[in-house]
Structure 1
Amino acid sequence: MAGIYGADVAQLRALGKALTASSTRLTSTRVALSRDVRDASRWKGSDAERFRSDWDGTHSLTLGKVIAALAEAGRAAARHADEQERASGTRDTAGRTSTSAPDARKGSGNISFLGEDHSSPRHADRGEPNLTPAELDRLRNKVSAAASGGNFLAGNDAEVNGLREALTALTPAQLNQLLASLSDDELRNLGAGAAGDGKGWFNSEGTTPFERQQLLDQLLSKASADQVHRLKDLIPWAQPDGTAMGDAARPGGPDPSSTSRWMEPRFPVIGEHPSADDIRQGQYGDCVVLAAAGAMVNADSGWAREHVTDNGNGTVSVLLFDKNGQEQWVTVTSDLPANAYGGQLGAKTGFGGNWPAYVEKALAQVYTEDDNNDGTKEGSPPDQAWPPGHYRAIEGNWGPDAFQYLAGPEVERTKDADVLWGAASGGKPSVVTTLGEAPDGAPNGYHANHAYFVTGTDERGNIILQNPWGAFEPSMAISKEDFRRLFSDATVTH
């Protein structure tokens, strides 16, 4: 006698397969459409650029939401079929597929992308604004000392760091209490004092970019939203310069942007399932940065969630390595550089969130490795070495220089294929760069002066490379001989 079911198990399984197949077909359609939309030879002009911006910023993401919903519905139908079988004490042995197993990453299985953020809060408890008048006076004096030029011989490096250490001990509510007690002029002076190098005659290093950013981190990450706006208005270096040199590897050459515009993204910093598919390089020529971020999250699916977080007050914090190999939070405001059509100029939103764009922004604030050897568009001024606080500083740089900020000091630039294959087989994050000109016999998807990240190996022993322009770009499977002949070098982690 057949068991009693609350639903027809066979039909549930058939529905699950149909939903999963529809999700797969729509994924293929989305990839094909993305390639067509980005083919500049098919449609040129301002209307075309505006539609491409809308596609990246809205339409493609909406399709992604539908794809994910169909896939989850397919898994849900399979789970319900399993539950019906267990409840009735029977087992349907026909048509069982791997889709019946719940995806451990899905949690409750709810689809949430457009609204809910999945960051881990840094300051979950705001505390109470309970500083005494004496404590407030002590902190205000530290602010005044950090804002001044300090001793001619000693500078004000010690004062900047002393203020930062004092702010570290404050709860968000106490920090906000302090900010509310400071005038606009006091905050402007603090910004000006901390912006200097802090050097005196006997201080060879002075205030480093990371030390300045640690001070800003304590201010921005803990402040209320209205105080964040105030800090951004009064401290100019709280926001990097968003102008772009452009990506020289793109067909047609770099597309520079000379205006620093800003926009508030509509999508969360961390979506439900961050992954390497979120890497979608925008107009900046920072393929090494985005390839390094892709390599990190490909090697560790939890990397984005552990290193990027929405503070819930209009700021985002990113955990980077400083020059001493120590991890430090870099906090930036949540607005991002905008293109001429109001879309994101830099890294585009992925289905797993906007975290790559904030890795870009945080790195632009502290990057000190830029040189003046980047290529520029014909007729443009020659390149210069950009200091921290400029997106142009993170464009067109060497693999180890950028990678060390994300992976730490244990990175190695190599031309040795055996070293690269050893890292890839061990699941270590790795980035590969191409030659200055595309050689004969280059595989489909190869672009000169470009960086790719390793996603794994295939059954033939080749390594698989993904383009940071996006998962819709063709991947490349290359042999050791291909690497030696067609590529410049690699950067691997240990």
Structure 2
Amino acid sequence: MSLDAPGGGTGSGFHGFDTPQIRTMASNMKTISPQSRTMHGELARLLMEVQGLMDGKPAVVSPSLQPLVGQVLPAFYHGLPGSLHQELDDTSASLGRRCDQLDTVQGLGLVGISVDPALDFSDEAPPDRTKIDNALEYFDDHIDDSGGFLWANSAQGAGEVYDDFAKLTPTELDAVMSQMSDDQLRKLNSQLGEGSSWWGGGDADGGVQQKWENMLLSECGPETLTRLQAQLTNLPWEPDPKTDSVKDARYEPVDLPLFAPDGSAPDVTADISMGRVGDCWFMASLAAVTEQDPDFPREHIRQNPNGTYTVTLYDKSGKPVEVTVDNKMPRNDDGLVYAEPSSNVLWPLIYEKALAQYKGGYGNIEGGFGDQSMDILTGQDAERHNPKDVSLADIDDRLSKGEAVTIGSNSKADKNDTRMVSDHEYTVRSVNMNSHPPTVEVMNPWGADGSKDHLVTLTEDQYRKLCDEVSFTPEVV
């Protein structure tokens, strides 16, 4: 069998998975999927008949089957088992692609081209050996390019090679990087250390370094990354974990799910718990945005096949910027030093690390205002106002429209109210215009285990006395 043919390899079809058996299963899925529609209609009619005999009692108590009662039009099937038609078709196609990938990866191994095992069963087009060979040749031809001028960007070659490598699939890229010799990696590292800046404090969409690191972290397998991280030392693979108050942090993995395994929406009152870095401005806004749109974190964090996470942030112009990080978090002998997984989910920690990477280190994310983090999170041009100019009725109106709102306490807040923290950003959760007087409930991003009240209810007079800024997105998040 040709290496370039779908499923190319030894012909045995067995390398950790029995791909002929998997292909047979996929074919069976495709064959039986139309039957789910017939089953759906028959079950709906049966439940309707039973419903008529039950004297008002429900025909079924299963949440997945209750919606069937009353479905009489075959063209408008909702839920199980009718939805299995598309799901089985999609799964069958995915299994076919994965088998093609697996067989072709094995074939590459037979000719000495290694691919990280973590990518063996990826759902993508099978790797093309010609593209791998051409990419390696392109590297040798262009990595030493400069501009021909003394003032030219000495990293031009790395930029040209990046543009070429960015066209590869993750498996092809992993194969190319695995094939590179130590000398080739030294040349790349030298280029990445010259004439190229990082994100520039988050003010731009980044230079050659950022592009290379993001691509490698999001696509290469763990074994390949271990070698690259040791060789490409001019890439800042992790944000600097040290701050003014934390000098002894080290990175260690936190093995937790990104979101709740049961699929439930993020609960910011349980999930948000900041640590020993002054990024309340960011964590409060992250909570405010998620309160208004619980799907927001899932839509802005992509879990990559290699186990890393790519977070979409936004630069000052509102342009999306992808930042890739892993699950290693700063800790010392006492435990995690920054955001904590108080409810055993990882997404707030991933967001915080992505911001630290974007800004060039955890020490660079200390101090800010709610509107600044809303800009970074949503790409909107958020607003900041004096509380004297924004009533609780105004805040209630903005919340009802789906806008995110935070408030910042002033320097004397804790002296005037022991529940509060001075110079601190809070998430605005709700306004009660029916209470006398009207009140606003705010959340401290320190979390439920913080030394101050987690949830605080303020009257309008207290809100204006204790706070010196209120920020909000100008549109629905």
> What is the TM-score with the length of structure 2 in the denominator?
0.65
CA distance in 1, matches of 2:203, 2:255: 39
In the TM superposition, what is the alpha-carbon distance from 1:166 to its structure 2 partner?
A: 2.6
Query: Residues 305 and 186 (structure 1 numbering): CA distance in 2 closer, same or farther, change over 3 Å?
Result: same
The DSSP-based 3-state class of the residue aligned with 1:216 is helix
In the TM superposition, what is the alpha-carbon distance from 1:359 to its structure 2 partner?
A: 0.8
Query: Residues 206 and 280 (structure 1 numbering): CA distance in 2 closer, same or farther, change over 3 Å?
Result: closer
CA contact (8 A) 2:413 2:420 kept: yes
- Show the counterpart of 1:425: 400
- Show the counterpart of 2:212: 215
The DSSP-based 3-state class of the residue aligned with 1:347 is coil
Matched, 1:474 2:454: yes
- Show the counterpart of 1:244: 243
Q: Which runs of 5+ in 2 are unaligned?
A: 1-49, 67-78, 81-118
What pairs up with 1:57-456 in 2 under 5 angstroms? 89=54, 125-132=123-130, 135-141=134-140, 144-145=143-144, 151-156=149-154, 159-198=157-196, 209=206, 212-236=209-233, 237-245=236-244, 256-272=245-261, 273=264, 274-276=266-268, 277-341=270-334, 343-351=335-343, 353-367=345-359, 388=360, 390-415=361-386, 416-418=389-391, 420-438=395-413, 441-442=416-417, 445-456=419-430
| % identical aligned pairs | 26
CA distance in 1, matches of 2:55, 2:416: 58
Matched, 1:463 2:440: yes
Query: Residues 475 and 101 (structure 1 numbering): CA distance in 2 closer, same or farther, change over 3 Å?
Result: farther
CA distance in 2, matches of 1:258, 1:360: 18
Deviation track 1:30-52 (CA, whole Å, cap 9, x = no partner) reads xxxxxxxxxxxxxxxxxxxxxxx
In the TM superposition, what is the alpha-carbon distance from 1:261 to its structure 2 partner?
A: 0.6
Q: Which moved more, 1:293-302 or 1:343-352?
A: 343-352
Deviation track 1:4-51 (CA, whole Å, cap 9, x = no partner) reads xxxxxxxxxxxxxxxxxxxxxxxxxxxxxxxxxxxxxxxxxxxxxxxx
Query: Larger relative contact order (C-alpha < 8 A, sep ≥ 6)?
Result: 1
Query: Residues 335 and 424 (structure 1 numbering): CA distance in 2 closer, same or farther, change over 3 Å?
Result: same
In the TM superposition, what is the alpha-carbon distance from 1:259 to its structure 2 partner?
A: 1.8
CA distance in 1, matches of 2:358, 2:248: 21
- Bigger radius of gyration among the two: 2
What pairs up with 1:29-68 in 2 under 5 angstroms? none
CA distance in 1, matches of 2:193, 2:326: 18
In the TM superposition, what is the alpha-carbon distance from 1:328 to its structure 2 partner?
A: 2.3
In the TM superposition, what is the alpha-carbon distance from 1:221 to its structure 2 partner?
A: 0.8
CA distance in 1, matches of 2:348, 2:142: 33
CA distance in 2, matches of 1:405, 1:490: 17
Letter in 1 for 2:168: L
CA contact (8 A) 1:176 1:223 kept: yes
CA distance in 2, matches of 1:178, 1:192: 18
Deviation track 1:26-84 (CA, whole Å, cap 9, x = no partner) reads xxxxxxxxxxxxxxxxxxxxxxxxxxxxxxxxxxxxxxxxxxxxxxxxxxxxxxxxxxx
Query: Residues 393 and 185 (structure 1 numbering): CA distance in 2 closer, same or farther, change over 3 Å?
Result: farther
Q: Which moved more, 1:150-159 or 1:463-472?
A: 150-159
In the TM superposition, what is the alpha-carbon distance from 1:485 to its structure 2 partner?
A: 1.4
Letter in 1 for 2:237: A
Deviation track 1:281-337 (CA, whole Å, cap 9, x = no partner) reads 122221112112111211111111111233242422111112331112211122111
In the TM superposition, what is the alpha-carbon distance from 1:422 to its structure 2 partner?
A: 4.0
In the TM superposition, what is the alpha-carbon distance from 1:222 to its structure 2 partner?
A: 1.0
Query: Residues 142 and 174 (structure 1 numbering): CA distance in 2 closer, same or farther, change over 3 Å?
Result: farther
CA distance in 1, matches of 2:239, 2:183: 21
CA distance in 1, matches of 2:188, 2:182: 10
CA distance in 2, matches of 1:128, 1:456: 51
Deviation track 1:413-432 (CA, whole Å, cap 9, x = no partner) reads 21132464543332211221
CA distance in 2, matches of 1:181, 1:190: 14
Count residues in correspondence: 352
CA contact (8 A) 2:142 2:161 kept: yes
In the TM superposition, what is the alpha-carbon distance from 1:465 to its structure 2 partner?
A: 0.9
CA distance in 2, matches of 1:233, 1:392: 24
In the TM superposition, what is the alpha-carbon distance from 1:126 to its structure 2 partner?
A: 4.0
